[in-house]
Structure 1
Amino acid sequence: MIFFLFLFFSAVHGKIYYIEAYMEISPKGDVIINYTIISKNVSNVKIFIEEPGKFILPENCKRIEKEIIKCRLEKEKTIFSEISHVEKYKKGFTFEKNIRVFDVVERSVFLVKLPEGALLPENQTKFFPLYGTIATDGRRIFVIWERKNLQEGEIQGVKIFYEFPPKKQSFALFSIALFLFLLSAIGFALWFILWRKKKRVRDIILPVLKEDEKKIMEIILRYPKGVNQKIIVKESNYSKGKVSKVLKSLAERGLVRLERRGRTNIVYPIFEVKKK
């Protein structure tokens, strides 16, 4: 049920300069409304409310009947609050508030602040009146309506629709993020295992190799996925015969694996060090 709240302000020998309704919607659908009235030379204001919510009134305001609140305007500014609720609407929610002022008002401002994570709908009217301005503080969306020179008895009202992103979409985004995290973790784990094996080979094997064997083995370790024998010849500056002889010796000791490909070999390092 969408309820309407009508405020009837009765001022004698005075003027209302400004009325503000600041409406903040919580994730659970509660709405806290802070009303601010700025006037001059106004002693009393009576407020008539239809289907009122729960009000939080200052000392200078009291409820004299079920739908009537009377305030003594001891200062130029009067502030009071109301607690209301949104209504369910299709896939989202809606909230409406209407105010009628029985005095000329120079300026009125209505502001509705949506819950964090809430969005204005895309395929329907977002709010009424249409002249509202959409803004954000970086975390929450809010809409502002501003009018000037409201005539005596003129209704000022706003209505807004909002919705939350589907949970499936949120779950899908979470699943993708989790998958990417696990993929990164697995990749890091594989890299770390390979790095440790290479380190073990460097720490255990390289110190006991001859100088030429050590130089060639260091080149091979830079290519864990295999390296063409021609590249080893080029980077070591050794002759083809010398490189072939060293590779044969390393293969016999189980330090590398040679795979014949055409007229050359692809050399793979063997990271598992055999203990005697």
Structure 2
Amino acid sequence: MTSLPPATAIDRLRAAFGRPAAHDTNHRTLHAKGAFYAGTFTATPRAAELCTAGHLQGSEVPILVRWSNGAGNPRASDKAPDVRGMAVSFKLPDGTATDLLGQTAPRFPVRTPEAFVAMTEAAIHPRKLPGFLLRNPHAVPALVANARAKALVPPASYAVSTYHAVHAYRWLAADGTSNWVRYVLRPRSSTAPDGTFTGRDRLREEIAARLAAGPVTYTLEVHLADDGDDPHDPTSVWEPRETIDAGTLTVTAVADDPEADGGVVVFDPTRIVDGIELSDDPILRYRPQAYSESVERRSV
């Protein structure tokens, strides 16, 4: 259990990026700058063999995608160093949905909500970074790995980045077996658009032009935990016993903005369906509370 109240976490994260102007109250605390896209997902037979979840049975299901920058400033330039995100909501035939959230950083550096908030503050105000690292030396290897992976380097396109899900889940199979898994969204193919995109909104402009030229496809890569892999610690480094192609995501178009008229869309990594179970990862379990606090403020 954490001692950090969600309201305090949101207060600190918002303060780290500066208090929003009055006309900017309706934006996310993190990943504030982004846009929505439409597409489909089709699972492989191997995914259906390992998990009974409805979107993994092989039929094409619609998806809503949001590509975003990680910062809490909705006016930040796309040229700025930042982690990028790809959130996906799978819409099942029975009307339910399940969400997957990925980021360009392959390693997650901290285990608790308190450490995550402190890390975000230190990243924005570098004078705090030495103190943070002294208190959290276990974060150093992940931060080094992310730097080597160029996780914060502005990409040429949202469509060429690989996105790593932070958390692990248990897949339940029809035969009663189960596996702990982690997800990776790995780019497969797309057509680069003509022209040069250099402005502060270049990533959004580029992906719109790319989709006009053709679909953007991703492989849902799934890592199956081995006996020594810890599904409950987001910082753990796995040596998976098997990596499978679980299906293809095909993003086809810019979607109508579901938040344009004041609506609020939340991509929640704890939104699961039958056939999938949550780990006891403390950050995963905390996220719905933080999202609820953030949504309440966006709705004021």
TM tier relative to shorter chain: under 0.3
Which is strand-richer, 1 or 2? Answer: 1
Larger relative contact order (C-alpha < 8 A, sep ≥ 6)? Answer: 2
Normalised TM-score (structure 1):
0.21
